[in-house]
A = this chain, B = another copy of it.
């Protein structure tokens, strides 16, 4: 009898760490404009085409986990020979009036339920009934199969810049790339690729590196003039999710950047900070001390000064200044805090930077590790990731992509996650929270707009 190859620990750790309170899948919500000639059965026809084409499913999307008796409880991958396309691909509808509100409600529910481990670990939902001549898709992939950045790359690769391209394959039918990156290494996809390969490299060493990462973060924190307070976000979480999403014009953010000399990320952080302050004030839950965000940053510039090679992403801790009422003061605080943090990051060893990158790209890796969750006080209050996207409009079989919002994975001690990605002329915010511990999450969208207006008034 042939020995069954075990699953790499970098895959299985996400299965082992999963529970009904901690589904370990990432998601993506995409909104499309219906093509002009779309009839009422447009989406239903796409659905039937997708379901009928089982042959095109790539091997990655045919894998399912199993625990053979002979492996003594360890996981391995196997191929599902009874692929049930109607299980994986689903047609859903929104109740009237079919606003974005109803879409987010449905997406929240879909994101909160576990994938069936007896099947390949993905679902794809076509959603009709969205007002404004639109439809949406929601996709769900287990982290054991693919991390969030990889799934974003794949989603982009499944689309075309040409609206006249038809007969395009769905995400699960996109053949794997021959090389890590086919671009010149500098475009947005190249950055994504580099993020992905960083995560993949790290995943290999993560279990060993976890302690180091933790120490590295604490070292970074120790040289910074602040410490994360306890907050409602840093508690044990429940299984249900709430997702909120909205896009803002990148031009508005760029105007503030130009006026202040800050980075785009600084402006985004200031926008989040003002919104979080208002949200927590409403709930009577604003800590006296400022919230601390863990923020992934590009290390391209810094790397010239270190021996690290290949890895272009690190993480910094940023003081969000949520204790300050004045938006301009808050902005200055964030800017200077980010600068200090980046300096201290440059002084970390390559291994520590690597470890930090791991925490950023695969924060979940830590949830299964006993003790990590109960760290007191929390090393940071929430993760705010800004993942580079694609600057030009994309199409799927003639339907224009309006927006693409990432759904992340809250975990114990991190009940809220903010992930931002760019597309065309917009910055798209995806907020994923534990439904119980982050109440009225959608209010954060209103507060984000208020916060941006406030910044405009204070800086322009």
Tell whether, in the assembled complex, residue A93 and residue B90 are in contact, meaning their CB atoms are under 8 Å apart.
no
Tell whether, in the assembled complex, residue A87 and residue B117 are in contact, meaning their CB atoms are under 8 Å apart.
no
Q: Which residue of B is nearest A238, CB measured?
A: B118
Nearest CB in chain B: distance from A236 CB, A: 9
Q: Is A338 an interface residue (CB 8 A)?
A: no
Cβ-defined partner of A117 (8 Å) among B20, B92, B102, B116: B20
Q: In the assembled complex, which residues on chain B have CB atoms less than 8 Å from the CB atom of A347? A: none
Tell whether, in the assembled complex, residue A116 and residue B238 are in contact, meaning their CB atoms are under 8 Å apart.
yes
Contact (A82, B20) CB under 8 Å given A116-B239, A117-B239: no
Contact digits for A125-146, partner B, Cβ 8 Å, 1 yes 0 no: 0001100000000000000000
Cβ-defined partner of A84 (8 Å) among B41, B114, B116, B436: B436
Cβ-defined partner of A87 (8 Å) among B93, B128, B240: B240
Q: Is A25 an interface residue (CB 8 A)?
A: no
Q: In the assembled complex, which residues on chain B have CB atoms less than 8 Å from the CB atom of A113? A: 113-114
Please, how many angstroms separate the alpha-carbon atoms of A114 and B82 in the complex? Answer: 24
* A interface, over-half SS: loop
Tell whether, in the assembled complex, residue A92 and residue B91 are in contact, meaning their CB atoms are under 8 Å apart.
no
Tell whether, in the assembled complex, residue A238 and residue B119 are in contact, meaning their CB atoms are under 8 Å apart.
yes
Q: In the assembled complex, which residues on chain B have CB atoms less than 8 Å from the CB atom of A240? A: 87, 116, 118-119
Q: Is A43 an interface residue (CB 8 A)?
A: yes
Q: Is A21 an interface residue (CB 8 A)?
A: yes
Please, how many angstroms separate the alpha-carbon atoms of A185 and B117 in the complex? Answer: 47
Please, how many angstroms separate the alpha-carbon atoms of A91 and B129 in the complex? Answer: 14
Which of A40, A91, A93, A129 has the most chain B CB atoms inside 10 A of its CB?
Answer: A93
Within 8 A of B (CB), among A19-46: 20-21, 40-41, 43-44
Nearest CB in chain B: distance from A143 CB, A: 16
Nearest CB in chain B: distance from A80 CB, A: 10
Please, how many angstroms separate the alpha-carbon atoms of A114 and B114 in the complex? Answer: 8
Q: Is A95 an interface residue (CB 8 A)?
A: yes
Q: In the assembled complex, which residues on chain B have CB atoms less than 8 Å from the CB atom of A90? A: 109
Contact digits for A88-99, partner B, Cβ 8 Å, 1 yes 0 no: 001111111100
> Which of under 10, 10 to 19, 20 to 34, or 35 or more describes the interface residues of A?
20 to 34
Query: How many copies of this protein are present in the complex?
Result: 2
Q: In the assembled complex, which residues on chain B have CB atoms less than 8 Å from the CB atom of A117? A: 20, 239
Tell whether, in the assembled complex, residue B238 and residue A96 are in contact, meaning their CB atoms are under 8 Å apart.
no
Q: Which residue of B is nearest A129, CB measured?
A: B93
Tell whether, in the assembled complex, residue A128 and residue B96 are in contact, meaning their CB atoms are under 8 Å apart.
yes
Please, how many angstroms separate the alpha-carbon atoms of A127 and B271 in the complex? Answer: 38
Q: Is A342 an interface residue (CB 8 A)?
A: no
Tell whether, in the assembled complex, residue B96 and residue A95 are in contact, meaning their CB atoms are under 8 Å apart.
no
Tell whether, in the assembled complex, residue B128 and residue A20 are in contact, meaning their CB atoms are under 8 Å apart.
no
Please, how many angstroms separate the alpha-carbon atoms of A114 and B239 in the complex? Answer: 10
Within 8 A of B (CB), among A335-384: none
Q: Is A435 an interface residue (CB 8 A)?
A: yes
Q: Which residue of B is nearest A91, CB measured?
A: B95
Which of A20, A21, A40, A95 has the most chain B CB atoms inside 10 A of its CB?
Answer: A95
Within 8 A of B (CB), among A180-233: none
Q: In the assembled complex, which residues on chain B have CB atoms less than 8 Å from the CB atom of A102? A: 91
Which of A40, A90, A96, A129 has the most chain B CB atoms inside 10 A of its CB?
Answer: A96
Contact digits for A256-295, partner B, Cβ 8 Å, 1 yes 0 no: 0000000000000000000000000000000000000000
Nearest CB in chain B: distance from A21 CB, A: 7
Q: Which residue of B is nearest A40, CB measured?
A: B96
Q: Which 7 A-B pairs have the closest CB atoms?
A: A118-B238, A113-B113, A93-B95, A93-B93, A116-B239, A91-B95, A116-B240
A/B interface sample: 22 pairs, CB < 8 A: A20-B114, A20-B116, A20-B117, A41-B96, A44-B95, A84-B435, A87-B240, A90-B109, A91-B102, A93-B95, A93-B96, A93-B129, A95-B128, A113-B114, A114-B114, A114-B239, A116-B238, A117-B239, A118-B238, A118-B436, A119-B240, A119-B436
